[in-house]
Amino acid sequence: MKVKVNRIKGNNLASLVKKMITMDSQIYLTLSDNQVSSSVFLATKDVVKKTYLGLADVFELDEPLDKPLKLAFFNGSKVISALQYFDLAAIHGEISCLEIDGEYYAEYLTIEDNSLKMKLNCTDPDLGFVSMTPAQIDIAFSNKAKKYEFDMVESDLTKIMNLNGTEKSELFSVYGDNNGIHIAGDNYDYIIDDSNTTPLEKVHVHKKFLDKLDKENYSVQVCTGEQNKLVLTSRSTETSIALNLALGVE
């Protein structure tokens, strides 16, 4: 089966790939009737991430899809590199796909402009396709156990990542007191929100998880008890990420 794409919006496709490449070099995109989405988790299941764009914001199809189409690339970096060779205002193409057990799986994506044509091979469907079910997404991003929340703008995130890079410890903490909500390491203590005036439970987070975040503005929810996670919802894009808390830390 061939799916004709009248226009491929290369910048938006590259943006989606860049977001998910922080989780895995392999990229898994699902095209539905109204959006292009991706939802994946680390093998350790302690970080989950989801994002989406409107379908027409990435692929303008000649005809609507009658069922979702799964598009996977073994190496997302090669997709980003390939797009750099094209006139982004003139990209169009075609998705060649197979129907397996009632679902479409892409074999390859052909992209072209007025002078260049290239075929990007997709991951063999037999190797599997990573995508979370709606029920898994609901559980992963549930905030029923939310204890408190705060905003973290891009400059805050950059500062915290840089501060964490000056230390050897694997964890940083989040807590609240009458001075505000703090992000703290072994040798630094940064007040990220000075509006709080009450003690708030201290939690600990693995520093390595911050590498999974895009540099955007976030609403951060601290969940403890049965959930034990940070849920970060981007205020810049349709992206959310949940990070498990480190347990058993004094």
Which pLDDT belongs to residue 79? 96
Percent share of the chain, pLDDT over 90 = 88
Tell me the average pLDDT across 66-74: 94
Residue 6 sits in the same domain as residue 128 = yes
- The whole domain housing 60 covers 2-132
Place of tokens 């029923």: 144
- Burial tier of 110 (Cβ tally within 10 Å: 0-12, 13-18, 19+): middle
CA gap 106, 121 in Å, rounded: 9
For residue 250, pLDDT beyond 80: no
pLDDT in tens, 27-41: 999 999 899 999 999
For residue 121, pLDDT beyond 70: yes
Residue 145 sits in the same domain as residue 125 = no
- Give the least confident one: 73-82, 97-106, 206-215, 233-242: 97-106
CATH code, domain carrying 65: 3.10.150.10
Tell me the average pLDDT across 202-217: 96
Residue 94 sits in the same domain as residue 69 = yes
Residue 107 sits in the same domain as residue 126 = yes
pLDDT in tens, 127-180: 888 889 999 999 999 999 999 999 999 999 999 999 999 999 999 999 999 999
Residue 119 sits in the same domain as residue 25 = yes
Residue 250 lies in a domain: no
Place of tokens 């009632």: 102
Residue 57 sits in the same domain as residue 118 = yes
Reported pTM: 0.92
The number of residues in the chain equals: 250
Task: Label residue 249 by pLDDT band (50, 70, 90).
Answer: low
Residue 103 sits in the same domain as residue 197 = no
Residue 127 sits in the same domain as residue 6 = yes
- What is the domain count for the chain? 2
